[in-house]
C-alpha cells in the first residue's frame, strides 16, 4: 500500500578510497507506490545512491532494505528492482519485440505468455506496431519507451531511472515527463528517478530528495520544498530566489526583528527560533515580489533602482539594485507589471508571509 516504507537506507556510506566519500551517512525512506526523485548537482552522490539500491555498488557502511528484506550484500539479479539508464542500453542486434522479451526468455517463460506480456507492454508504452523495428530505426523517445517496457515486463517492485530523459531534446523531454508520470500511476509501482533538472523534479515527483555532498539536505513534496526550503542551498537549487541576508534583533514569542545592516532596514518576520544576533537570511521568490512606487501598509520592502527589464513572453523580469548594491529579481505577469523604466527609483515589496527565514 502507498504510504508504507518500501525502500530504507540506514546510515549508508560509500567510499571509493580514503579520500573520496561519495555517499556520506545517508538515511532515506521511500514509500511504496510513489514517484520519488533524487535531485542535486553533478557529483552530489545521487547516481551512486541509485546504484547502491540497484546492487551495482556495495555500501562501505550501512544497510539497504527493500520490501522488508536486507539486500545490502545481494547481487542485482536477486533484488526486486530494475534500472533504466540514460543510454537506454538496448541490444542493438535485437528488434523491439526481442528487447522487451529478453528478461522473460532468460526466465524460460512460456512463449504464449511472453507474447501476451510483450503485447501488453507495447500497448502501455504506446509502441504497438513497432515490434520488428531495430533500435537504430527508433527515435530517442521511442528507445526510452522500449527500455522502460523491457524493465517493467519483469514486474519489478521498484523501477530505478538514472537521468533517462537527459539525451532528449526539450520538446520531447516535456512529452516524456508526462508519459513517465502516466505510466507510474498506471503501474502503481515505486519509481526512483535521478535528475539534476529542478523543473523536471518539481513537475513529476510525489517526493523530492535534495542532495549535496553525498547527504540529504531536505526531503518533501515539491510544493513544500519550493515554498519552504530549509536553507540557502535548497532555496537556490529549486528554482531562482532572492537571498536577503541579515541578523536577528529583538525576539518576541511569535515574531522577531530582522536587521539588514547594509540596507539600513529592519522589519518583522515570523519568529524563526534563532537567538538575537544570530545570522538569518530570507528567501523570497521573484514571483512573490512586486515593483511599486508606494508599498502597502504591512508589506516588507527594499528601496531599489531599476537596472534592467527583460521581456520573456508571459513574464516581465525586472532586475533592481538595492542601496547596498544587491540585485533583486522580480517576475511580474504582463497584466500586473509595473510601468517602471531603467533608472527609476522604486520599491521591491512583498508580503511578510512570502519570505522564508533560512540558515545560510
Domain boundary among 204, 230, 256: 230
Asked if residue 166 belongs to a domain, the reply is: yes
Q: Is 244 found in the same domain as 226? A: no
Alpha-carbon distance of 258 to 45, in angstroms, equals 35
| Measured distance CA(180)–CA(99) in Å, rounded | 19
Judged by phi (left if over 0) then psi (alpha if -120 to 50, else beta), residue 60 lies in: alpha
- Average pLDDT over all residues of the chain: 90
Q: Are residues 136 and 280 in the same domain?
A: no
| Domain final residue pick, 200, 230, 260 | 230
Q: What is the pLDDT of residue 70?
A: 96
Name the β-bridge partners of 266. 259
pLDDT of residue 141: 83
For 225, list phi and psi in degrees, rounded to 5. Answer: -65, -40
Average pLDDT estimate for 227-247: 91
Are residues 197 and 124 located together in one domain of the fold? yes
Q: How confident is the model at residue 228 (pLDDT cuts 50, 70, 90)?
A: very high
Which range among 25-39, 172-186, 271-285 shows the weakest confidence by mean pLDDT?
172-186
Using DSSP's 3-state secondary structure scheme, residue 258 falls into strand
Q: Are residues 205 and 101 in the same domain?
A: yes
> The C-alpha cell of 156 is what?
519489478
- Is there a domain that residue 186 lies in? yes
DSSP H helices, the chain, are 46-54, 96-106, 111-124, 140-152, 170-187, 198-204, 222-227, 232-237
Of residues 239, 189, 184, 183, the one with CA closest to residue 39:
239
* Rounded percentage of the chain residues whose pLDDT exceeds 70: 99
Are 20 and 161 members of one domain?
yes
Residue 3: pLDDT band (50, 70, 90) is low
Distance (Å, whole) CA 33 – CA 218: 20
Question: Is residue 351 one of the residues assigned to a domain?
Answer: yes
DSSP 335: T
Residue 46 placed within a domain: yes
Please check whether residues 198 and 115 belong to one and the same domain: yes
Helix, coil or strand: residue 202: helix
88 conformational bin, left if phi > 0, alpha if psi -120 to 50, beta if neither: left
Of the three residues 171, 204, 230, the one that is the final residue of a domain is 230
Domain presence at residue 235? no
Q: Are residues 266 and 133 in the same domain?
A: no
The x, y and z cell numbers of residue 208, run together, are 523530492
Comparing 37-41, 208-212, 295-299, 347-351, the range with the smallest average pLDDT is 295-299
Angstrom CA distances, 56 to 71, 198, 199, stand at: 12, 26, 28
Torsion sign over Cα 219, 224, 226, 227: negative
CATH number, domain with residue 18: 3.40.50.300
DSSP labels for 259-287?
Answer: EETTTTEEEEEE--SPPTT-EEEEEE-GG
64's grid cell: 539497504
Q: Decide if 113 is inside a domain.
A: yes
Lowest mean pLDDT among 1-10, 101-110, 179-188: 1-10
The DSSP letter of residue 17 is: E
Confidence at residue 1, expressed as pLDDT on a 0 to 100 scale: 47
Crossing angle for the helix pair 140-152 and 96-106, to the nearest 10 degrees: 20
How confident is the model at residue 328, as a pLDDT?
96
Confidence of residue 359 (pLDDT cuts 50, 70, 90): confident
Do both 265 and 140 map to the same domain? no
Q: Give the number of other Cβ atoms within 10 Å of residue 112's Cβ.
A: 8
Q: Is 129 exposed, middle or buried (0-12, 13-18, 19+ CB in 10 A)?
A: exposed
- Are residues 166 and 292 both part of a single domain? no
DSSP character for 79? S
**Within a domain: 157:** yes
CATH number of the domain enclosing 303 = 2.40.50.140
Q: Is the pLDDT of residue 208 over 80?
A: yes
Q: Is residue 320 within 8 Å of 304, Cβ to Cβ?
A: yes
CB 67 within 8 A of CB 226: no
Q: Say if 270 falls within a structural domain.
A: yes
pLDDT of 172 > 90? The answer is no
Q: Which residue has the cell 504497438?
A: 128
Task: Give the pLDDT confidence of 339-358 residue by residue, as tens digits.
Answer: 888 999 999 999 988 999 98
Residue 62 and residue 14 in one domain: yes
Question: Which domain covers residue 65, as residue numbers?
Answer: 5-230
Query: Do both 218 and 268 map to the same domain?
Result: no
Residue 29 has pLDDT above 90, yes or no: yes
Q: Please name which of 27, 72, 355 lies closest in space to residue 215, comparing C-alpha atoms.
A: 27
Same domain, 204 and 300: no
Pairing verdict, β 207-212 and 35-39: parallel
pLDDT tens per residue across span 42-67: 999 999 999 999 999 999 999 999 99
| Cell matching residue 11 | 546510515
pLDDT of residue 30: 95
pLDDT tens-digit profile of 305-342? 999 999 888 889 999 999 999 999 999 988 878 888 89
Tell me how far apart the alpha carbons of residues 259 and 36 are, in angstroms, rounded to a whole number. Answer: 38
Q: What is the pLDDT of residues 76-92, one digit of tens each?
A: 989 999 888 877 788 99
- Report how many domains make up the chain: 2
Amino acid at each position: 500500500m502507498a504510504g508504507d516504507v518500501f525502500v530504507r537506507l540506514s546510515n549508508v556510506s560509500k567510499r571509493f578510497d580514503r579520500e573520496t566519500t561519495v555517499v556520506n551517512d545517508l538515511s532515506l525512506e521511500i514509500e511504496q507506490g510513489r514517484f520519488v526523485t533524487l535531485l542535486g548537482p553533478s557529483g552530489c552522490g545521487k547516481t551512486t545512491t541509485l546504484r547502491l539500491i540497484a546492487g551495482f555498488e556495495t555500501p562501505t557502511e550501512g544497510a539497504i532494505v527493500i520490501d522488508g528484506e536486507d539486500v545490502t550484500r545481494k547481487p542485482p539479479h536477486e533484488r526486486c528492482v530494475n534500472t533504466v539508464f540514460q543510454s537506454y542500453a538496448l541490444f542493438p542486434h535485437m528488434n523491439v519485440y526481442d528487447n522487451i522479451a529478453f528478461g522473460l526468455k532468460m526466465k524460460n517463460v512460456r512463449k504464449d505468455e511472453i507474447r501476451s506480456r510483450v503485447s501488453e507492454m507495447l500497448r502501455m508504452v504506446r509502441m504497438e506496431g513497432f515490434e520488428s523495428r531495430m533500435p537504430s530505426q527508433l527515435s530517442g523517445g521511442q528507445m526510452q519507451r522500449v527500455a522502460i517496457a523491457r524493465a517493467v515486463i519483469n514486474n519489478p517492485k521498484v523501477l530505478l531511472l538514472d537521468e533517462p530523459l537527459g539525451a532528449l531534446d526539450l520538446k520531447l523531454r516535456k512529452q516524456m515527463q508526462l508519459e513517465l508520470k502516466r505510466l507510474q500511476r498506471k503501474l502503481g509501482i515505486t519509481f526512483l528517478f535521478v535528475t539534476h533538472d529542478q523543473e523536471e523534479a518539481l513537475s513529476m515527483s510525489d517526493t523530492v530528495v535534495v542532495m549535496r555532498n553525498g547527504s540529504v539536505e531536505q526531503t518533501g513534496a515539491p510544493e513544500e520544498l519550493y515554498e519552504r526550503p530549509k536553507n540557502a542551498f535548497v532555496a537556490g537549487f529549486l528554482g531562482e530566489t532572492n537571498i536577503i541576508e541579515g541578523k536577528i534583533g529583538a525576539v518576541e514569542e511569535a515574531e522577531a526583528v530582522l536587521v539588514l545592516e547594509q540596507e539600513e532596514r529592519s522589519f518583522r518576520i515570523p519568529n524563526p527560533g534563532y537567538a538575537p544576533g544570530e545570522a538569518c537570511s530570507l528567501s523570497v521568490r521573484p514571483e512573490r515580489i512586486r515593483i511599486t512606487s508606494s508599498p502597502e501598509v504591512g508589506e516588507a520592502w527594499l528601496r531599489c533602482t531599476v537596472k534592467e527589464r527583460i521581456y520573456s513572453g508571459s513574464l516581465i523580469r525586472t532586475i533592481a539594485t538595492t542601496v547596498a548594491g544587491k540585485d533583486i529579481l522580480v517576475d511580474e505577469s504582463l497584466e500586473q507589471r509595473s510601468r517602471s523604466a531603467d533608472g527609476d527609483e522604486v520599491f521591491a515589496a512583498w508580503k511578510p508571509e512570502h519570505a522564508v527565514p533560512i540558515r545560510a
